[in-house]
Every structure is written in structure tokens, then in C-alpha cells.
Structure 1
Amino acid sequence: MRIPLFAAAALSAALVLAGCGASAENASPTCPNGEVRFGVEPFEDPQKLTPAAKVLADALSEQLSCSVELSITEDYSAEVLAMENGRLDIAIFGPLGYVFASKRADAEAIVSFGDAQGALSTYTAGIWVPADSPITSVEQLRGHTLALGSVGSTSGDALPRKAIADAGLKEADVRIDYAGGHPEALLALTNGKVDAAQLNSQQQASATAAGTFDASKYRQVWKSEPIPNDPITVRGDLDPAFKQAVRDALLNLPPKAVGDIGALLDVSPPGKLVPVDEKTYQPLFDLATTLGLTEGDV
């Protein structure tokens, strides 16, 4: 049975407040409701992601002279739903999540993570197996278990599924298990619960640094083309003056303000944030078309 790309979900109850308190009385073009509500997709263990994202939120708060309320959302669908319902002003989405947020919530990509040379950073999706596995290609996944991350993830769902289709397999030919996230998919592999798992270059770098993944004990049987890194977006129906102020503030942040969260996205050493727009992510719009994903899947 096919699982919809995005199922309705609620925002995580855990909110981290960055910056000083504010009220509606302080509304301004850069602080329209007395605060800016900032959502971040749960692409990493919240214990690592929350403090890293808070550094970015604090820096943005200082640039805008406005309180920034940070929320690590429960899952990809929750973040799209929150922006669609007007509960987020800005948000970091995965590239494919942005595709659907742009359709459902009018999300506009404004900046992403740059490397030390000022170029847009990228990452890759991958499928890994134990080093002693007989599986050497995607074609040989037939009849085997494959751990994917979360429904709606670019590297943890859509791209591995496309790799399966490109290999001439039907999804029913592979026993797909949605583990609940990138870290959980990796754990399923390292704990021997599945025959193969998706592991993107970001999670690989993070897990290697943490000592929870040793690449010498595993083998990558598939790797995607480079994917443009996660965009920071703003809700399209907001005041143009606010959107410009946020874009300018983000572009003016020093590399140290984005370094912690950038490291979790395999951007090291980090540069400043760089401008992006919808055209940057056209390959992901094309991917959604190729896989037959529509707003009905959201």
C-alpha cells in the first residue's frame, strides 16, 4: 500500500525561544507579529539539531532586532502544514519538502548554505549494505529489506525510490521499511535489522564524526547526483518588506552563525549563506514529476 508523501501531522510541542520577548505592539516590517516564527525540518537527532539551529536563530534575532521563535518540527509533513496554516514565517526545508511547500504554502526559497569559497553546497543520497553483503547493485535489492528515512525526504525517500525504478524494479520487489528518519535508518543498518539502508552524505559525515558509523564495514551500492542543499524559505504571502529584510539579514550573517547547523548538513568549513531561488531546485520539481507526485500526495 502506498504511503502518501505527506500525512497530516502536528507541530512538535517543544519550542525553543531565541532572542528577547516581544509582543504584537512591537510589530514592524521586520517583526510583523512581534516575533518571527522559524521552523526547521527534523533531518538530524533533535539533541544535535536544536542547539545548532538555535545559534542561527539567535543570530537572525540580533540582525532583525526581533524575537525569533524556533521550532524543530515533528516531521516533514508537519513543517509544510505549519507554514500552510500561517504558523511559520520562515523555514528550512529539505529540497523535495520545499517543492511541496512552494505549492501548498507558497514558500519562497531565498538562501541556502554556502561553502568556504562562496558556492552553494551540495550533498548526495546513497544506499549502503554491510561490507560482506552479496548485494552489489540496486538491482540485487529484489526480495531484500531496505530502510528509508521519512516519507517526503529527498535523500531518504524519493531519490532511493527513483533508483529502484531506474534499476527496473517495482517498489513491491523491495521490502521497504520507513525507519522514521536518517539516524533511525542508519541504526537499522548498523544493528543488522535490514539488508540495506539509505544513508546520505550529510548523515554519513555526522555519524562518522560521532563514532557511530565506520564506512570500512559497509559498502555503498548506489549514489545520487549532487543535490543542492536545504533552502531557507519565507512564506510568500508576507509583506515584501519583511521578506527582503529576512533575506538581507540571512545573507549578512557571519559563517560562525551558520557553522553549527551547516556542519550537520556536511558543510565544513562553512561560508556565508548564499542566494537561491526556485530555479535552483528545478531538478527536484522534475523529480516530483517523474515519480508522479502531486499535491494530492501532500
Structure 2
Amino acid sequence: MSWIRLLLLCLLLSAQARAETIRFAPLPLVDEKTLRAEYLPLLDYLGKQTGDTYRWTFLPKYPAMLQAMQDGQVDLAILGPLPYIKLTERAKYFEPLVQFREKDGRADYDCVLVAFGADRTLKLKDIMGKRIGLTQAESTCGYFAVASMLKTAGRAPGKDGNRYEYAGNHTKAALGVAQGRYDIAGLKRSQAEKYLGLNLHIIAESGPYPAFALVANTRTLPEARRAAIRQALLTVDDATRASWGEAIRFGAVAARDAGYSAARARVDALGGIPEAPGK
């Protein structure tokens, strides 16, 4: 047995010897029922690998989720790049353990704009006087990605006669377009593809952005436990992952904070993100 494998085995056994209750929070991308179906099999797997108990914590609003993490009430969470950047601006004791690959194998993803039916031919420069559905202010594919796309054409979500509102999650934003409440909406590409059968069409894209990450609080999770969790996710087999949600089913790669430097620069270039329309 190589010394590296021996070290990893020792780390795993050490972590298992001191079982803990680890508080996990998923990204509020969709409704809680759907998220439970997607993430509980992952937590069951991690529990078997590390010997810990994983406690489900659902916080539907990004600000509350990020505050709970900062306050030490959440040990482990799934975060997109923008919420991770916002969190690490406020506190430096968070570490991305792994990033989850997309269906195509990429460890990054795109945000897109969708429109309904006849609006499929809309160009970014034509987006004036439109009702825009966004997810949440702290969501990568919300105001940040949509404003970044529109900026390339000299447009903005709250200017040029455009009006926007925060729908709450990707499902509500997508259905808002299908039901006529919005003219366009910003979504993660994998989420948008679920609604193409409702006559939604992708009209623009922005990216790539770093893939969703499993982020640990280094104050509440010791290094040995973080290493054990990371190793468990990097070595899990395809058959086990098959029951996991689409966002985490296709494997993982080790993550580093340095991998967010380009995304941080894009956030800085855009400027502030309003917490509510008109703010």
C-alpha cells in the first residue's frame, strides 16, 4: 500500500472514530421536496463512508443560508459561485471541497436567458420594455448573470423600460415565462433544458462559471473530516451516484478557492447587485 493511500485510510479511520452530527444545507435552486429527493441519497452515502450523521437544513432564501453558514449553524453546503464569493467576502473560514461535474463532464456551467414561443428570435439588444424573471439576488444565474449578458448589448434589467422581479427559484422563474408573467428569465442551463418542452427557448448564454461546490466551514469541521468527505466524493462509483440528483450525479473534481478568481473579477466588474428591484 502506498504511503498516500495509507495516509488517506488513516484520515478516514480517524474521522470515523469521532462521529459527529454534520449540518448540511442544499442550494435552494428548486423546492425542498425535490431537493430532498436529490440530496438525501448523497448524505446517506457520506454517512456510511465517514460514520457521521448528516442533519438536513433547508433555508429557502440565500441571505438566511449564508448568514447561517457564517454563524456556524451550517457545517456543509452546496453553493454556486456567486453565493460562495459573497460568503467568502464576509468570512475566510470556508473551503470548497469538491465541484460537481455537469452532465457533459464539465466542471463549470452556463447561465442562459429563456423566452417563450415567438420571442425565440430576440437578441440582447432588443430586450427593452420586457418583464424579466430572476431567481434570487445571490443566485449566480439571477441578476448577476442576466445583467452581465445585457451589459454586452448596452442594456440592463432595470433600465431601457425593463422591469424585473425575483421569482424565488429556477422553477418559478421558468414557469413564469411559460405562464406569461415574464417575457424572459435567467436560468442555469441544465434547469432551462427541463422546460424546453413548454415552448421555452434559449436566446443567450453567459459563462462559464465554476461548477456547484460542496463547501465546508473550517471552524466546525476539522481537517481530517473534510479530507474524508472529499475523498469519499472523489472515489464514489457510478452505480452509487445513479440515485443522486442531476446536479451531483456526474462525478466531482477537487476544488480550490483560487479557481474562483475569474468569477470574482466578473462580479467586481458588474458592480452591485440589488437586493430588490429599484434598490
Query: Which aligned pairs between 1:38-57 and structure 2 lie closer than 5 A?
Result: 38-57=24-43
Contact 2:99 2:214 (8 Å CA) reproduced: yes
2:94 counterpart (97, 107, 115): 107
CA deviations over 1:219-256 (Å, ceiling 9, x no partner): 32211133232010111324222222222232233334
Contact 2:37 2:245 (8 Å CA) reproduced: no
Q: Does 1:247 align with 2:230?
A: yes
What CA distance in whole angstroms lies between the structure 1 residues aligned with 2:147 and 2:17? 41
Offset of residue 192 of structure 1: 0.8
1:93 counterpart (61, 79, 92): 79
2:172 matched to which residue of 1?
184
TM-score of the aligned structures, taking structure 2 as reference length: 0.82
What CA distance in whole angstroms lies between the structure 1 residues aligned with 2:118 and 2:108? 30
Query: Which aligned pairs between 1:44-193 and structure 2 lie closer than 5 A?
Result: 44-105=30-91, 106-114=93-101, 119-133=105-119, 136-170=122-156, 171-173=158-160, 174-193=162-181
Contact 1:113 1:262 (8 Å CA) reproduced: no
CA deviations over 1:239-297 (Å, ceiling 9, x no partner): 2222222222322333344444441x3x7xx4432211112222221122112249x99
Evaluate the alpha carbon distance shift between residue 253 and residue 70 of structure 1 in structure 2; reply closer, same or farther with a 3 A threshold.
Answer: farther
Q: Does 1:195 align with 2:183?
A: yes
Offset of residue 108 of structure 1: 0.9
Evaluate the alpha carbon distance shift between residue 284 and residue 134 of structure 1 in structure 2; reply closer, same or farther with a 3 A threshold.
Answer: closer
Q: Give aligned-pair identity as a percent.
A: 24
What CA distance in whole angstroms lies between the structure 1 residues aligned with 2:120 and 2:25? 42
Contact 1:30 1:241 (8 Å CA) reproduced: no
Q: Does 1:233 align with 2:215?
A: yes
Any stretches of 5+ residues in structure 1 without a counterpart? 1-27
TM-score of the aligned structures, taking structure 1 as reference length: 0.77
Partner AA of 1:283 in structure 2:
A
CA deviations over 1:159-217 (Å, ceiling 9, x no partner): 10111222212432221121111100011100011211123212123x34xxxx416x3
RMSD over equivalenced CA pairs, Å: 2.7
1:218 matched to which residue of 2?
200
CA deviations over 1:14-71 (Å, ceiling 9, x no partner): xxxxxxxxxxxxxx75586831111111112322111211000110111111111122
